[in-house]
Amino acid sequence: MDTAVRQQNLFDLAPAAMADWFESIGERGFRAQQVLKWVYHQGVTDFSAMHNLSQTLRNQLPSLASLELPAIQSQQVSKDGTIKWLFDVGGENAIETVFIPESGRGTLCVSSQVGCALNCSFCATGAQGFNRNLSTAEIIGQVWQAARVLGHQRNGERKITNVVMMGMGEPLLNLDAVLPALELMRDDLGYGLASRRVTVSTAGLVPAIDVLNQTLDVALAVSLHSPIDELRNELVPLNKKYPIAELMAACQRFVKDKHKRSVTFEYTLINGVNDHPEHARRLIKLLRQVPSKLNLIPFNPFPGTAYRCSKPERIERFQQIIMQGNIIATVRKTRGDDIDAACGQLAGDFNDRTRRRQRIQLQLQANA
């Protein structure tokens, strides 16, 4: 039998699953705790260096298991300190991950899919099409590699304080891989991040929001972008299946019985499309249904789009109306736009199985 076929990539396993795996090879479950601490606390992926394992086990592990990570293909650093990595995930596919340093915090924006199947009209990732879901190892591997580059912090403040599943892809369409990765982010044997410091962003996959709510304690962000179903259908096609009323009901269920928990709503402001005062007033009525925070995101252009960013005065007016409705509304500062690392700009480099890129290019040529 081919050794590579039967090897278990331990980066694919959350703590309980890893304990089960060690028991399946005749070892005690506590071996998982030892390996997890080496991997996530010390940044060690060489079994021979894990000296508190028995010599017999250290010799045996390379034939049974691996610790395989997506390799860094390139790194770009923005003038504002934002870092963007391109990760090789095989098959001539590459995904993007972004680190945003701020005073007192460092946020890592992680991808969950190679491309995205949802085709939101204002998003560069959606315009690039879709190839496949990422594995748990490829998701948590982005965190591990970023922590290695930035420096593991054993004493004092860690560099990565927050992780947001807001990179390429719809996380809730890849729950089988995303949930174990989130568990590793949260668990003390992994990165030990508090629930409010791990955020999952969704375009509104209602059934999966309920699954997430019942499975893990993490923060929820919803890509809303319009308070009106007809317009949201155009911006976020998933809305045709799960309209705003159903989405808000799922958000209400998510925060129920959670002390001081709120949902963060993301709203990309597109000039002349969704940035009118009436949109803001209708948004107030909508967000009053659930404890809410609103992130207003100036649209970040990408090649081929006809959309433009709202003018500064329109953004300011929109924010003022929301704030007058007693809802917290912040305008997200554009970060990393000089390296195409801003919100909505992540595109990666991959084989588009949907041929969406090809169709868009043909349409642009026809329009020209």
Write out pLDDT tens, residues 121-178: 888 877 788 999 999 999 999 999 999 999 855 445 679 999 999 999 999 999 999 9
| Mean pLDDT score, 62-77 | 96
| Mean pLDDT score, 304-314 | 91
Q: Which pLDDT does position 286 carry in this prediction?
A: 97
Q: Which pLDDT does position 364 carry in this prediction?
A: 47
CB-CB contact of 173 with 119 (8 Å): no
Provide the residue type at 84 as one letter.
Answer: K
Task: Work out the burial of residue 92: count CB atoms within 10 Å of its CB; fewer than 13 is exposed, 13-18 middle, 19 or more buried.
Answer: exposed
Which has the closest alpha carbon to 359: 130, 129, 168?
129
The predicted model scores a pTM of 0.91
Catalytic member of 96, 138, 170, 183: 96
Banded model confidence at residue 1, pLDDT cuts 50, 70, 90: very low
CB-CB contact of 296 with 308 (8 Å): no
* Three-class SS of the chain: CCHHHHCEEHHHCCHHHHHHHHHHCCCCCHHHHHHHHHHHHCCCCCHHHCCCCCHHHHHHHHHHEECCCCEEEEEEECCCCCEEEEEECCCCCEEEEEEEEECCEEEEECCCEEECCCCCCCCHHHHCCEEEECCHHHHHHHHHHHHHHHCCCCCCCCCCCEEEECCCCCHHHCHHHHHHHHHHHHCCCCCCCCHHHEEEEECCCHHHHHHHHHHCCCEEEEECCCCCHHHHHHHCHHHHCCCHHHHHHHHHHHHCCCCCCCEEEEEEEECCCCCCHHHHHHHHHHHCCCCEEEEEEECCCCCCCCCCECCHHHHHHHHHHHHHCCCEEEECCCCCHHHCCCCCCCCCECCCCCCHHHHHHHHHHHHC
Look-up of token digits 């912040």? 330
| Mean pLDDT score, 268-272 | 96
**Known catalytic residue at 92:** no
Look-up of token digits 């691996």? 66
Query: How does 112-128 read in b/e, with b if 16+ C-beta sit within 10 Å?
Result: bbbbbbbbbbbbbbbbb
| Mean pLDDT score, 304-311 | 89
Q: Which of 3-17, 73-87, 331-345 has the highest mean pLDDT?
A: 73-87
Name residues whose C-beta falls within 8 Å of residue 156's C-beta, 6 or more positions apart in sequence: none
What is the Cα–Cα distance from 234 to 247, expressed in whole angstroms? 16
> What CATH number has the domain spanning 71-364?
3.20.20.70
CB-CB contact of 3 with 60 (8 Å): no
**Known catalytic residue at 96:** yes
| Mean pLDDT score, 70-81 | 93
**Is residue 366 pLDDT above 80, yes or no?**
no
Lowest mean pLDDT among 82-91, 222-231, 326-335: 326-335
Q: Which pLDDT does position 87 carry in this prediction?
A: 96
The domain limits of the chain are: 3-66, 71-364
**Is residue 358 pLDDT above 80, yes or no?**
no
Q: Which pLDDT does position 345 carry in this prediction?
A: 56
What is the Cα–Cα distance from 102 to 80, expressed in whole angstroms? 10
Lowest mean pLDDT among 2-16, 215-229, 282-296: 2-16
Classify domain 3-66 at the CATH topology level: DNA polymerase; domain 1 (1.10.150)
**Is residue 193 pLDDT above 60, yes or no?**
yes
Catalytic member of 116, 120, 123, 343: 343
What is the Cα–Cα distance from 242 to 248, expressed in whole angstroms? 10
State the chain's mean pLDDT as an integer.
90
**Is residue 359 pLDDT above 80, yes or no?**
no
What is the Cα–Cα distance from 339 to 354, expressed in whole angstroms? 26
Which has the closest alpha carbon to 280: 301, 290, 265?
265
Can you read off the two tokens belonging to residue 336? 């990393």
What is the Cα–Cα distance from 43 to 72, expressed in whole angstroms? 16
Q: Rounded to the nearest 5 degrees, what angle is found at the Cα of 263, between the Cα atoms of 142 and 96?
A: 20
Identify which has the larger pLDDT, 216 or 6.
216
